[in-house]
Amino acid sequence: MSADVFEKCFGFHAVDDLKQTGFYPYFHRVESEQGPEIIVDGSKKIVVCSNNYLGLANHPKVIESSILAAKNYGTSCTGSRFLNGTNDLHEKVERKFAKFVGKEDAILFTTGHHSNLGAISCLVGKSEVVVTDRLDHASIIDGCRLSFGEMVRFRHNDMKDLKRQLARYKGKGILIVVDGVFSMEGDITNLPEISKLAKKYGARLFVDEAHSLGVLGEKGTGTGEYFNMQDDVDVVMATASKSLASIGGFIASNSKVINYIKHNARSMIFTASLPPACVGAIDAALDLIVAEPERRAKLMQMASKMKKEFKAMGYNVNNSQSPIIPLTVGNDLVAFKMWRMLFDEGIFASPVVTPAVPEGQSIIRTSYMSTHTDNHLDFILDKFKKVGKHLGVIA
């Protein structure tokens, strides 16, 4: 008898087993807009797992701009950017984004994932090398896998290891790709050292600013601005699904590089372009990031308050340097139980378990938005204290 590719599906019981325990934390139904308070499965929760860092996902100006775009351009572009799917709104936000991050040109993909997939895979050719941080986002890994080059990983933010890897491939075309802020860990890439090494070994530097755009730097441009070295970043990637309150992904660089990506990135050429309503939202959100820096300042103040309070309670906040604060809680079961207890106490959080983290080091990833109030933060702290103590995560 021949093998059946469905066999693995029929034998896939882990999720059903977890559901039986009542600890299954995924695919819960949000029945409201995405703010600091949401309705999940019929009841109100305070959110600590959103990437809506600046709270723009329900801002009236963003909604208005999105509606206007749909009214003017319809609901879909019905095709690829390459063919019939480019409109003047796409080009407007590309110019705006390029100017914002200080690059010559930019291109807008349909998602952040598509941006990494398309840009990395077409920039790294046969006999070239892509060097990534071991904790880079999955979309970066996917982009590397789709390229014809060799993929090499260095230990997380370990500059000695990066140097060792670069030395191995000296003389080859090399692209270094790092997250600006690491999505699960909340720490910042060591851009000054990476840039030094990139120059020494003639490598190009690509920074994924998914969690740093709108958040880091005085203007909110991201990691490059934070270290005052934006010119040293050859390619800036950012997703529109976090601070930009929409969906979509940007790649910005010099115009020759963008022109090449535009004509070679398969995830741009072979997928339909971003719908007008989403582009309209990005347009307004980019203006608000520039016009309202106080959102960023408040976000960073809140993040440092939360870090201080969690530490005082006895939580391990790891090396968080951003509004992403991961709390190490123990094994997967503890993380699932903690998620459930927090949920029952009115908190919507995210557990991160193996294989995304090493065995025994599962986390509850918390993240903040500038629209959380002091009352929200106190409520969150109170519940984490209660549940953490109950489970023996803190003393």
Residues that bind ligand PLP (CB under 6 A): 111-113, 116, 137, 139, 179, 183, 208, 210-211, 239, 241, 247, 249
Q: How far is CA 295 from the centre of its chain?
A: 19
Is 99 part of the annotated catalytic residue set?
Answer: no
The catalytic position among 45, 114, 137, 242 is: 242
Is 376 part of the annotated catalytic residue set?
Answer: no
Cα–Cα dist 167/129, whole Å? 12
The catalytic position among 90, 113, 211, 376 is: 211
Cα–Cα dist 203/156, whole Å? 18
Cα–Cα dist 197/187, whole Å? 20
Structural contact between residues 268 and 109, judged by C-beta atoms closer than 8 angstroms? yes
User: Which CB atom, from 364 or from 393, has the smaller least distance to ligand PLP?
Assistant: 364
User: Which CB atom, from 222 or from 388, has the smaller least distance to ligand PLP?
Assistant: 222
User: Which CB atom, from 113 or from 295, has the smaller least distance to ligand PLP?
Assistant: 113
Q: Residue 70 is inside which H or E element, if any?
A: helix 60-73
Closest distance between ligand PLP and the C-beta of residue 139, in Å? 4
Phi and psi at 122, nearest 5°, equal: -90, -20
User: Which CB atom, from 133 or from 234, has the smaller least distance to ligand PLP?
Assistant: 133
Is 211 part of the annotated catalytic residue set?
Answer: yes
The catalytic position among 183, 212, 322, 367 is: 183
Cα–Cα dist 229/216, whole Å? 13
**How far is CA 216 from each of CA 87, 137, 390, rounded to the nearest angstrom?**
30, 18, 35
Closest distance between ligand PLP and the C-beta of residue 247, in Å? 6
Closest distance between ligand PLP and the C-beta of residue 324, in Å? 10
Residue nearest to ligand PLP (CB): 112
Cα–Cα dist 268/83, whole Å? 11
CB atoms within 10 A of CB 269: 15
Closest distance between ligand PLP and the C-beta of residue 136, in Å? 7
Radius of gyration of the chain (CA): 21
Closest distance between ligand PLP and the C-beta of residue 392, in Å? 31
Cα–Cα dist 320/185, whole Å? 6
Closest distance between ligand PLP and the C-beta of residue 79, in Å? 20
Cα–Cα dist 56/295, whole Å? 10
User: Which CB atom, from 113 or from 383, has the smaller least distance to ligand PLP?
Assistant: 113
Q: List the structure tokens of 390.
A: 């109950």
User: Which CB atom, from 109 or from 315, has the smaller least distance to ligand PLP?
Assistant: 109
Point out the residues that are catalytic.
183, 211, 242
